[in-house]
Amino acid sequence: MAVAQPKTDATEARIAALTMPEGASWATEARKGALARLRASGLPGPRDEYWRFTNPAGLVEPEAPRAATFSDTDERPIFDAIDRVKLVFVDGVFDEGLSDDPALAGVEILRLSDALSRDIHWARDLYGALEERGQTPVVRPLAALNTAFATDGVAIRATGKAERPVNLIYLHRSETSDAILHHLVRVEEGAELTVLENGPAASRFNKCTEIDVAKGGTFHHVRAQGRDHERRAVTHMFARVAEEARYKSFTLTANGVMTRNEHVIEIVGDEAIAHVAGAALGDGRTGKFHHDDTVFITHDAVGCESRQVFKKVLRNGAEGVFQGKILVKPGAQKTDGYQISQSLLLDEDSSFQAKPELEIYADDVACSHGSTTGAIDETALFYLRSRGVPTAEATDLLVLAFVAEAIDEIEDEALRADILDRLSGWLERRRQG
């Protein structure tokens, strides 16, 4: 299908502003392949079906829109109490001085530029591979752009149980930064790894992570996107989940003028599990808030379980979007798929749009999906108030209750407590106005 001229022009203008980093010949081939995919599809435009609810303006221009940095020193840094290995990126550039010794994680960790300039078989097999697979049946041009031009990132390979979680911390210091990071994660047979991510990263952040979980492997991911009000982010998590492997991801988002988080997960081995969850808190009073969760889970094996649990709390004109799909391929019998997307609108100015989809080609499956939009339950609110809980506090309690199902997807108790702490902090700040 030919790309319309204005779109081609916009795409070429963006490409012209970027430089393809050097690397091993196989890496350059992978990047060129991605560039070809980007040119074939063109950058997303407002008329694209997959961008119907989220205007890609701000994500596609050659220059990143200016975004003020934000100091969140009013709360303890997230994951601070967790014994983890910090890898810090400042405006999208790895900062060795601020980072811990990667060796402490007990897994192989390489900077992306190192991984892509050597002949590392697992990195070669992975870089751009899952992203490319994720381009059908729906194109994801910003992910292709990422593969072609990513300037930094890490490649992590776990061959056993990691000693500590790897915490990727993204600091935002420049008002004009435009960061493109690409991470590779390979969890070998029976290995276990937890990756934590936090921070706004840059004024505009394009991040792509490719995660390959081998047989019986476990991958946990907990992310807290930064509180910067003006930042923009588009992220892709491409995962391939093998037999009896487990993939679990949770994201907390508060603030941000624009966030689009895509998850593209392919379950390729029997009896595997893939869960993705998210809680987004949006308050339009402190700047525009638009948050989009786009999830595509493909079942291509027998007896697998997938969950999509997304909750959004929106007020003062905040906008929430959910596009979620479960695709069950022929032969993927005994699939257990569940998807829930809900929004709690705290006023009439906020909005939520959801597009839940099931596409099933196997006959022995149990799949369900639900999507709701609602206000605070007045009966519950009165019940709480009648017991002496003031309205604001009662509302917060109901908000926490509303997002609980998503938070509960975090298995680790300490991490769950940390995320709950963030949520309470957000509510507290909102209450104080």
Partner 1 sequence: MLEIKNLHVKLEEEDKAILKGVDLSVEAGKVHAIMGPNGSGKSTLSYVLSGRDGYAVTDGTATLDGEDLLEMEPEERAAAGLFLAFQYPVEIPGVGNMTFLRTALNAQRRARGQEEMSSADFLKTIREKAKALKIDSEMLKRPVNVGFSGGEKKRNEILQMAMLEPKMCILDETDSGLDVDAMKLVADGVNALRDAGRGFLVITHYQRLLDHIAPDVVHIMANGKIVATGGPELALEVEKNGYASFESEAA
Contact set with partner 1 (CB under 8 A): 377-380, 382-391, 393-394, 397-398, 400-402, 404-405
CB of 400 to partner 1, least distance (A): 7
Rounded CA separation 75/70 (Å): 13
How many residues belong to the chain?
433
Rounded CA separation 60/172 (Å): 20
Is residue 91 within 8 Å of residue 173, measured between CB atoms? Answer: yes
Enter the tokens of residue 41.
Answer: 């599809």
Quickly list H helices, 284-412: 378-386, 391-407
CB of 416 to partner 1, least distance (A): 14
CB of 355 to partner 1, least distance (A): 25
Instruction: Name the residue type at position 384.
Output: L
Sign of CA dihedral 148, 151, 153, 154: positive
CB of 81 to partner 1, least distance (A): 19
CB of 429 to partner 1, least distance (A): 19
Is residue 180 within 8 Å of residue 170, measured between CB atoms? Answer: no
CB of 291 to partner 1, least distance (A): 21
Rounded CA separation 144/150 (Å): 10
- Looking at the Cβ atoms of 361 and 382, the one nearer to partner 1 is 382
Rounded CA separation 287/111 (Å): 35
CB of 391 to partner 1, least distance (A): 7
Tell me if residue 318 falls in helix, strand or coil. Answer: coil
- Looking at the Cβ atoms of 53 and 310, the one nearer to partner 1 is 310
Rounded CA separation 43/34 (Å): 13
CB of 184 to partner 1, least distance (A): 37
Rounded CA separation 12/6 (Å): 10
CA dihedral 154, 180, 278, 271 (to 10 degrees): -50
- Looking at the Cβ atoms of 334 and 385, the one nearer to partner 1 is 385
- Looking at the Cβ atoms of 18 and 376, the one nearer to partner 1 is 376
CB of 301 to partner 1, least distance (A): 33
Contact residues for 188 (Cβ-Cβ < 8 A; gap 6+): 157, 158, 159, 160, 214, 217
Show the CA angle centred on residue 331, arms to residues 272 and 360, nearest 5°: 90
Rounded CA separation 217/186 (Å): 9
> Which residues sit opposite 258 in a β-bridge?
232
- The H or E element containing residue 186 is strand 178-187
- Looking at the Cβ atoms of 148 and 252, the one nearer to partner 1 is 252
